[in-house]
C-alpha cells in the first residue's frame, strides 16, 4: 500500500458545500477549524459544540456557530471531528451514535483511541478516520497524519486531505504510525519550544536583553525549520554546512552532545509515544466495560 506517495486531489467546490462539525472546542478543534476556513469551507457551514462556553469566543470570531448540543452538531454535519479528551470519547460516541448515518465521516483526534475502539462504539459500517494534528495548524503550518478505518474508502481519505490541506502537511499512513506521530509532532512541538526557550536563556545569560533574545530564538527555529523542509536535505547535512573547522558551532555542538541532547530527545519521543499507546489501552478498556 502506498501512503505517502498518494496524490492529493483538491475539489474546492466539494469542500465549499461540506457541512463540518466539531465536538469539543479545545486547541486542536480551533487549529483545524482555522485551517479549514483558510481554504474553501464557509464559516456558515461549520458548527462547534462543547459543554462549556469558555472557548466559544474565538470560534465565534471566525463566524462559526456554537452550541451546547452534540446532537445538533452531528445532525448538521457531513464530516464530524471528535475533538475531546481520550477518556471522553466513549461517552460522546455513546450519546451520538444513534444519529450517525452512512453519510457521515467521523474523524477522531483523540490521542491513543484506536480505530477498532471507534468502530466498536459507532454503528455498524460507520466510516471512521483517526487523525493526529498538532498545534501549528493554527498558523497553517501543522503536521497531520491520518489512518482510515476498515469502512473508509480511498475517496474518504482524499476528501479529508482536500479539506485539511491548508492546515499544513497532511499525510496518510497505517494506524501503527499514529502514536509515533503523536510523540514526534504532537508532543514534539513542545520539545521545540523548550529548546527555543533554552536558546534564548543562553543569550540572556551572555548579556542580551530577554525580549530580543526570545525574538531571535523564535526566528532561528522558524528559519532552520523552513530551510530543512524546503531544501530536502538531511538534518545532518545542513548541520555540517553550518560547522566550520575550529569554529563556534562545532564547539557549541560538542557541549550539546556532552549534555546528551540527542539521546534525551529520542527518549522524549519514545516516552510520548508510549504514553499515547497507554491512553489508547485505557480508552479501549473503558469501551469494553
The whole-number pLDDT of residue 288 equals 60
**12-177 fold:** Rossmann fold (3.40.50)
DSSP codes, 214-237:
HHHHHHHHHHHHHHHHHH---HHH
- Asked whether residue 83 is marked as a ligand-binding residue, the answer is yes
Q: Where are the domains of the chain?
A: 12-177, 188-272
86 has a pLDDT exceeding 60: yes
Residue 41 annotated as lining a ligand binding site: no
48 assigned binding-site residue: no
> DSSP state, 123?
P
The verdict on whether residue 246 carries a ligand-binding annotation is no
Q: Per the annotation, does 26 bind a ligand?
A: yes
Contact 141, 107 (CB under 8 A): no
User: Is residue 7 predicted with pLDDT exceeding 80?
Assistant: no
Q: Given this model, what pLDDT does residue 286 score? A: 64
Helices (H), the chain: 12-17, 27-37, 56-61, 70-75, 89-96, 115-121, 154-164, 176-181, 188-205, 210-231, 235-242, 248-258, 261-287
Confidence check: pLDDT of 244 > 70? yes
The domain over range 188-272 is classified in CATH as 3.40.190.10:
no
List, as one string, the DSSP characters of 260-279: THHHHHHHHHHHHHHHHHHH
pLDDT tens digit sequence for 187-223: 999 999 999 999 999 999 999 999 999 999 999 999 9
Q: Is 33 annotated as a binding residue?
A: no
Rounded CA-CA distance 73/33 in Å is 14
Task: Indicate if the pLDDT at residue 175 is higher than 90.
Answer: yes
Strand order in the sheet with 127-132: 65-67, 46-49, 20-23, 79-82, 105-108, 127-132, 142-148, 168-172
The pTM (predicted TM-score) of the whole model is 0.86
Question: Is the pLDDT score of 137 beyond 50?
Answer: yes
Which percentage of the chain shows pLDDT scores above 90?
A: 81
CA distance 41 to 224: 32
Q: Is 84 annotated as a binding residue?
A: yes
The model's confidence at residue 276, banded by pLDDT at 50, 70 and 90, is confident
Q: Tell me whether residue 25 is annotated as binding.
A: yes
Distance set, CA 282 to CA 89, 109, 184, 278, 286 (Å): 11, 16, 21, 6, 6
pLDDT of residue 11: 53
Rounded to a whole number of angstroms, the distance between the first and last alpha carbons of the chain is: 35
Q: What average pLDDT score do residues 3-25 get?
A: 67
Amino acid at each position: 500500500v502506498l501512503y505517502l506517495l498518494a496524490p492529493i486531489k483538491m475539489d474546492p467546490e466539494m469542500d465549499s458545500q461540506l457541512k463540518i462539525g466539531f465536538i469539543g472546542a479545545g486547541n486542536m478543534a480551533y487549529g483545524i477549524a482555522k485551517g479549514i476556513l483558510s481554504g474553501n469551507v464557509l464559516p456558515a457551514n461549520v458548527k462547534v459544540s462543547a459543554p462549556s462556553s469558555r472557548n466559544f469566543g474565538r470560534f465565534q470570531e471566525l463566524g462559526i456557530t456554537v452550541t451546547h448540543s452534540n446532537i445538533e452538531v452531528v445532525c448538521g454535519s457531513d464530516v464530524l471531528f471528535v475533538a475531546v479528551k481520550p477518556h471522553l470519547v466513549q461517552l460522546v460516541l455513546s450519546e451520538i451514535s444513534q444519529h450517525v448515518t452512512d453519510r457521515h465521516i467521523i474523524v477522531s483526534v483523540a490521542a491513543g483511541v484506536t480505530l477498532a475502539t471507534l468502530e466498536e462504539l459507532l454503528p455498524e459500517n460507520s466510516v471512521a478516520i483517526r487523525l493526529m494534528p498538532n498545534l501549528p495548524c493554527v498558523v497553517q503550518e501543522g503536521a497531520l497524519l491520518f489512518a482510515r478505518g476498515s469502512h473508509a474508502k480511498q475517496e474518504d481519505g482524499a476528501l479529508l486531505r482536500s479539506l485539511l490541506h491548508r492546515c499544513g502537511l497532511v499525510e496518510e499512513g497505517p494506524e501503527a504510525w499514529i502514536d509515533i506521530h503523536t510523540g514526534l509532532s504532537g508532543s514534539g512541538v513542545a520539545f521545540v519550544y523548550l529548546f527555543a526557550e533554552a536558546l534564548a536563556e543562553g543569550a540572556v545569560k551572555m548579556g542580551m536583553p530577554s525580549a530580543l533574545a526570545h525574538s531571535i530564538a523564535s526566528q532561528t527555529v522558524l528559519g532552520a525549520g523552513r530551510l530543512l523542509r524546503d531544501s530536502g536535505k538531511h538534518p545532518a547535512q545542513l548541520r555540517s554546512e553550518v560547522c566550520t573547522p575550529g569554529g563556534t558551532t562545532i564547539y557549541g555542538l560538542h557541549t550539546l552532545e556532552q549534555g546528551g541532547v540527542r539521546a534525551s530527545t529520542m527518549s522524549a519521543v519514545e516516552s510520548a509515544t508510549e504514553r499515547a499507546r497507554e491512553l489508547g489501552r485505557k480508552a479501549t478498556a473503558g469501551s469494553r466495560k
